[in-house]
Chains A and B, each alone.
Chain A
Amino acid sequence: MRKRQLEILLQRVRGFTSPSATMEQYMTPPSLASDLLHMAHMRGELTQVLDLGCGTGILAIGAALMGAEAYGVDIDRQALRIARENAEMLGVHVDFVLGDIERIAFRRVKTIIMNPPFGAQHASLGDRAFLRKAVEIADVIYTIHNAGSLNFVRSFVSPCRIEEVYKARIPIKRTFEFHRKDVEWIEVELYRIVCK
Protein backbone atom coordinates (compact mmCIF):
# COMPACT_ATOMS: atom_id res chain seq x y z
CA MET A 1 0.00 0.00 0.00
CA ARG A 2 1.30 3.44 -0.88
CA LYS A 3 1.83 6.00 1.84
CA ARG A 4 -0.90 8.32 0.57
CA GLN A 5 -3.46 5.49 0.44
CA LEU A 6 -2.59 4.55 4.01
CA GLU A 7 -3.00 8.16 5.14
CA ILE A 8 -6.45 8.37 3.53
CA LEU A 9 -7.57 5.18 5.28
CA LEU A 10 -6.19 6.41 8.61
CA GLN A 11 -8.18 9.63 8.30
CA ARG A 12 -11.21 7.49 9.10
CA VAL A 13 -9.84 6.48 12.51
CA ARG A 14 -11.81 8.01 15.38
CA GLY A 15 -9.98 9.77 18.18
CA PHE A 16 -10.78 10.12 21.86
CA THR A 17 -14.34 10.94 22.86
CA SER A 18 -13.37 12.51 26.18
CA PRO A 19 -9.62 13.03 26.13
CA SER A 20 -7.74 13.17 29.40
CA ALA A 21 -5.36 16.10 29.66
CA THR A 22 -3.32 14.46 32.39
CA MET A 23 -2.70 11.45 30.16
CA GLU A 24 -1.97 13.83 27.25
CA GLN A 25 -4.41 12.00 25.02
CA TYR A 26 -4.47 13.24 21.46
CA MET A 27 -4.48 11.17 18.32
CA THR A 28 -1.35 10.91 16.20
CA PRO A 29 -2.22 12.78 12.98
CA PRO A 30 -2.78 10.43 10.02
CA SER A 31 0.00 12.09 8.01
CA LEU A 32 2.62 11.52 10.71
CA ALA A 33 1.28 8.01 11.42
CA SER A 34 1.61 7.07 7.75
CA ASP A 35 5.12 8.59 7.58
CA LEU A 36 6.20 6.51 10.56
CA LEU A 37 4.62 3.32 9.23
CA HIS A 38 6.00 3.81 5.75
CA MET A 39 9.50 4.32 7.14
CA ALA A 40 9.26 1.08 9.12
CA HIS A 41 7.73 -0.81 6.21
CA MET A 42 10.53 0.24 3.82
CA ARG A 43 13.05 -1.24 6.24
CA GLY A 44 11.20 -4.53 6.61
CA GLU A 45 10.42 -3.68 10.23
CA LEU A 46 6.64 -3.89 10.06
CA THR A 47 6.20 -7.62 10.59
CA GLN A 48 5.42 -7.95 14.31
CA VAL A 49 4.48 -4.67 15.89
CA LEU A 50 3.47 -3.52 19.37
CA ASP A 51 2.01 -0.03 19.93
CA LEU A 52 2.65 1.19 23.50
CA GLY A 53 0.02 3.68 24.67
CA CYS A 54 -2.03 2.96 21.55
CA GLY A 55 -5.02 5.14 22.47
CA THR A 56 -7.70 4.68 19.82
CA GLY A 57 -5.32 2.58 17.78
CA ILE A 58 -4.16 4.59 14.77
CA LEU A 59 -0.55 3.31 14.70
CA ALA A 60 -1.39 -0.34 15.44
CA ILE A 61 -4.25 -0.33 12.94
CA GLY A 62 -2.04 1.28 10.29
CA ALA A 63 0.57 -1.43 10.90
CA ALA A 64 -2.09 -4.11 10.45
CA LEU A 65 -3.20 -2.43 7.21
CA MET A 66 0.40 -2.78 6.03
CA GLY A 67 0.27 -6.50 6.80
CA ALA A 68 1.83 -6.61 10.27
CA GLU A 69 0.85 -8.84 13.17
CA ALA A 70 -0.21 -5.95 15.38
CA TYR A 71 -0.77 -5.42 19.11
CA GLY A 72 -1.77 -2.37 21.08
CA VAL A 73 -1.71 -1.69 24.82
CA ASP A 74 -3.27 1.19 26.72
CA ILE A 75 -4.45 1.95 30.26
CA ASP A 76 -7.74 3.53 29.09
CA ARG A 77 -10.50 0.98 28.53
CA GLN A 78 -12.75 3.49 26.77
CA ALA A 79 -10.00 4.31 24.27
CA LEU A 80 -9.53 0.59 23.61
CA ARG A 81 -13.24 0.16 22.89
CA ILE A 82 -12.96 2.84 20.21
CA ALA A 83 -9.74 1.24 18.95
CA ARG A 84 -11.54 -2.06 18.42
CA GLU A 85 -14.30 -0.31 16.50
CA ASN A 86 -11.72 1.49 14.38
CA ALA A 87 -9.97 -1.78 13.51
CA GLU A 88 -13.25 -3.42 12.63
CA MET A 89 -14.30 -0.47 10.45
CA LEU A 90 -11.04 -0.75 8.50
CA GLY A 91 -11.28 -4.53 8.28
CA VAL A 92 -8.12 -5.49 10.14
CA HIS A 93 -7.39 -7.48 13.26
CA VAL A 94 -5.35 -5.99 16.10
CA ASP A 95 -5.04 -7.53 19.57
CA PHE A 96 -5.68 -4.74 22.06
CA VAL A 97 -4.74 -5.18 25.73
CA LEU A 98 -5.58 -3.18 28.84
CA GLY A 99 -2.44 -2.63 30.86
CA ASP A 100 -0.24 -0.27 32.82
CA ILE A 101 2.96 0.55 30.95
CA GLU A 102 5.04 0.29 34.13
CA ARG A 103 3.63 -3.09 35.10
CA ILE A 104 2.79 -5.01 31.93
CA ALA A 105 5.14 -7.70 30.63
CA PHE A 106 5.75 -9.03 27.13
CA ARG A 107 7.96 -11.49 25.38
CA ARG A 108 10.51 -9.95 23.02
CA VAL A 109 8.96 -8.28 19.96
CA LYS A 110 10.49 -7.19 16.69
CA THR A 111 9.21 -3.61 16.53
CA ILE A 112 7.61 -1.08 18.86
CA ILE A 113 5.82 1.94 17.43
CA MET A 114 4.63 4.61 19.83
CA ASN A 115 3.67 8.20 20.38
CA PRO A 116 4.10 8.41 24.14
CA PRO A 117 2.91 11.32 26.31
CA PHE A 118 5.63 13.94 26.25
CA GLY A 119 5.44 14.68 29.95
CA ALA A 120 4.30 18.26 29.37
CA GLN A 121 1.52 17.87 31.92
CA HIS A 122 2.55 17.37 35.51
CA ALA A 123 0.59 14.22 36.24
CA SER A 124 1.57 12.47 33.03
CA LEU A 125 3.89 9.53 33.23
CA GLY A 126 5.86 11.19 30.47
CA ASP A 127 7.91 9.37 27.92
CA ARG A 128 10.41 7.76 30.28
CA ALA A 129 8.26 4.81 31.33
CA PHE A 130 7.46 4.12 27.68
CA LEU A 131 11.08 4.31 26.55
CA ARG A 132 12.15 2.09 29.45
CA LYS A 133 9.62 -0.58 28.50
CA ALA A 134 10.40 -0.27 24.78
CA VAL A 135 14.15 -0.82 25.11
CA GLU A 136 13.48 -3.77 27.41
CA ILE A 137 11.48 -5.73 24.85
CA ALA A 138 12.02 -4.54 21.24
CA ASP A 139 14.68 -4.91 18.54
CA VAL A 140 13.65 -1.67 16.85
CA ILE A 141 11.61 1.30 18.16
CA TYR A 142 9.89 4.08 16.24
CA THR A 143 8.92 6.78 18.71
CA ILE A 144 7.61 10.35 18.53
CA HIS A 145 8.85 13.08 20.90
CA ASN A 146 8.89 16.83 21.39
CA ALA A 147 11.44 18.55 19.17
CA GLY A 148 14.67 18.93 21.08
CA SER A 149 14.42 15.62 22.95
CA LEU A 150 17.27 14.05 21.00
CA ASN A 151 20.02 14.30 23.61
CA PHE A 152 17.79 13.16 26.42
CA VAL A 153 16.42 10.20 24.48
CA ARG A 154 19.86 9.22 23.19
CA SER A 155 21.33 8.95 26.66
CA PHE A 156 18.19 7.45 28.17
CA VAL A 157 18.01 4.52 25.72
CA SER A 158 21.76 3.79 25.63
CA PRO A 159 23.18 1.24 24.72
CA CYS A 160 20.38 1.20 22.14
CA ARG A 161 21.17 3.70 19.38
CA ILE A 162 19.16 6.40 17.64
CA GLU A 163 19.90 5.69 13.99
CA GLU A 164 17.50 8.08 12.29
CA VAL A 165 15.79 11.36 13.13
CA TYR A 166 12.81 12.66 11.17
CA LYS A 167 11.35 16.08 11.93
CA ALA A 168 7.71 17.02 11.47
CA ARG A 169 5.18 19.67 12.46
CA ILE A 170 1.82 18.45 13.61
CA PRO A 171 -1.41 20.31 14.20
CA ILE A 172 -2.96 19.80 17.62
CA LYS A 173 -6.60 20.84 17.62
CA ARG A 174 -7.91 22.71 20.64
CA THR A 175 -8.78 19.86 22.99
CA PHE A 176 -8.12 21.12 26.47
CA GLU A 177 -8.91 24.34 28.30
CA PHE A 178 -5.27 25.32 28.55
CA HIS A 179 -4.83 25.23 24.77
CA ARG A 180 -5.09 28.88 23.80
CA LYS A 181 -5.39 28.60 20.01
CA ASP A 182 -7.83 26.51 18.00
CA VAL A 183 -5.02 24.79 16.19
CA GLU A 184 -1.54 24.78 17.60
CA TRP A 185 1.35 23.58 15.45
CA ILE A 186 3.99 21.75 17.40
CA GLU A 187 7.40 20.54 16.32
CA VAL A 188 8.02 16.86 16.87
CA GLU A 189 10.76 14.39 16.10
CA LEU A 190 10.45 10.76 15.14
CA TYR A 191 13.36 8.58 16.19
CA ARG A 192 14.28 5.14 14.89
CA ILE A 193 16.07 3.38 17.72
CA VAL A 194 17.93 0.12 17.20
CA CYS A 195 18.56 -2.24 20.11
CA LYS A 196 19.63 -5.55 18.63
Chain B
Amino acid sequence: MEILVCPVCRGDLELEVFEENEREILTGRLTCRSCGEVYPIEEGIPNMLPPELRERR
Protein backbone atom coordinates (compact mmCIF):
# COMPACT_ATOMS: atom_id res chain seq x y z
CA MET B 1 0.00 0.00 0.00
CA GLU B 2 2.91 2.28 -0.78
CA ILE B 3 0.72 4.67 -2.76
CA LEU B 4 -1.62 5.57 0.12
CA VAL B 5 -1.31 8.78 2.09
CA CYS B 6 -3.53 10.23 4.83
CA PRO B 7 -6.85 11.42 3.32
CA VAL B 8 -7.10 14.16 5.95
CA CYS B 9 -3.64 15.78 5.69
CA ARG B 10 -1.74 13.79 3.02
CA GLY B 11 0.82 12.74 5.61
CA ASP B 12 2.83 9.50 5.47
CA LEU B 13 1.22 6.46 7.07
CA GLU B 14 2.82 4.05 9.51
CA LEU B 15 1.70 0.42 9.32
CA GLU B 16 1.11 -1.85 12.31
CA VAL B 17 0.28 -5.49 11.66
CA PHE B 18 -1.98 -7.39 14.08
CA GLU B 19 -2.67 -10.48 11.95
CA GLU B 20 -1.23 -11.72 8.66
CA ASN B 21 -0.86 -14.84 6.54
CA GLU B 22 1.89 -15.86 4.08
CA ARG B 23 0.61 -13.43 1.49
CA GLU B 24 -0.88 -10.40 3.13
CA ILE B 25 -1.89 -8.36 6.13
CA LEU B 26 -5.37 -9.25 7.39
CA THR B 27 -5.80 -7.01 10.40
CA GLY B 28 -3.84 -3.96 11.44
CA ARG B 29 -3.87 -0.23 11.30
CA LEU B 30 -2.35 2.71 9.49
CA THR B 31 -1.49 5.76 11.57
CA CYS B 32 -0.75 9.15 10.05
CA ARG B 33 2.69 10.41 11.08
CA SER B 34 1.54 14.02 10.72
CA CYS B 35 -1.96 14.34 12.14
CA GLY B 36 -2.20 11.07 14.09
CA GLU B 37 -5.46 9.90 12.47
CA VAL B 38 -5.83 6.11 12.59
CA TYR B 39 -7.22 3.96 9.75
CA PRO B 40 -8.14 0.34 10.53
CA ILE B 41 -7.26 -2.61 8.29
CA GLU B 42 -10.04 -5.22 8.49
CA GLU B 43 -10.44 -8.41 6.42
CA GLY B 44 -7.33 -7.39 4.49
CA ILE B 45 -8.85 -4.06 3.42
CA PRO B 46 -7.57 -0.70 4.70
CA ASN B 47 -10.51 1.53 5.59
CA MET B 48 -9.49 4.98 4.35
CA LEU B 49 -12.91 6.57 4.76
CA PRO B 50 -12.64 9.80 6.69
CA PRO B 51 -13.55 9.36 10.37
CA GLU B 52 -17.10 10.76 10.00
CA LEU B 53 -17.95 8.27 7.21
CA ARG B 54 -16.34 5.28 8.82
CA GLU B 55 -19.26 3.45 10.43
CA ARG B 56 -18.79 -0.19 9.43
CA ARG B 57 -20.38 -0.80 6.08
Contacts A77-B57, A81-B43 given; does A100 touch B49 at CB 8 Å: yes
How far does the alpha carbon of A133 sit from the alpha carbon of B24 in the complex, in Å?
27
| Shortest Cβ distance from residue A1 to the other chain B in the assembled complex, whole angstroms | 22
Q: Give the residue name and chain of the B residue nearest to A99 (CB).
A: B48
Contact of A105 (CB < 8 Å), options: B10, B24, B53, B56: B10
Contacts of A73 in B (CB 8 A): 48
Contacts of A97 in B (CB 8 A): 1, 4, 45-46, 48
Inter-chain contact total with CB atoms closer than 8 Å? 58
| Shortest Cβ distance from residue A11 to the other chain B in the assembled complex, whole angstroms | 24
Contact of A103 (CB < 8 Å), options: B1, B2, B46, B49: B49
- Which chain B residues numbered 26 to 57 have a C-beta less than 8 Å away from chain A? 43-50, 53, 56-57
Contacts of B6 in A (CB 8 A): 105
Q: Give the residue name and chain of the B residue nearest to A137 (CB).
A: B3
Interface footprint category on B: 20 to 34
The answer on a CB contact under 8 Å between A104 and B1 is: no
Q: Does A164 contact B (CB under 8 A)?
A: no
Q: Give the residue name and chain of the B residue nearest to A74 (CB).
A: B45
| Shortest Cβ distance from residue A93 to the other chain B in the assembled complex, whole angstroms | 7
Contact of B1 (CB < 8 Å), options: A76, A95, A109: A95
Q: Does B5 contact A (CB under 8 A)?
A: yes
Contacts of B50 in A (CB 8 A): 100, 103
The answer on a CB contact under 8 Å between B49 and A106 is: no
Contacts A77-B57, A100-B50 given; does A106 touch B4 at CB 8 Å: yes
The answer on a CB contact under 8 Å between B7 and A107 is: no
The answer on a CB contact under 8 Å between A99 and B3 is: no
Q: Show the binding face of A for B, using Cβ within 8 Å.
A: 48, 50, 71, 73, 75-77, 80-81, 84, 93, 95-100, 103-107, 109
Q: Show the binding face of B for A, using Cβ within 8 Å.
A: 1-7, 10, 23-24, 43-50, 53, 56-57
- Offer 8 A-B interface pairs, CB within 8 angstroms, sorted by A: A80-B45, A98-B45, A98-B48, A98-B49, A105-B5, A105-B6, A106-B3, A109-B3
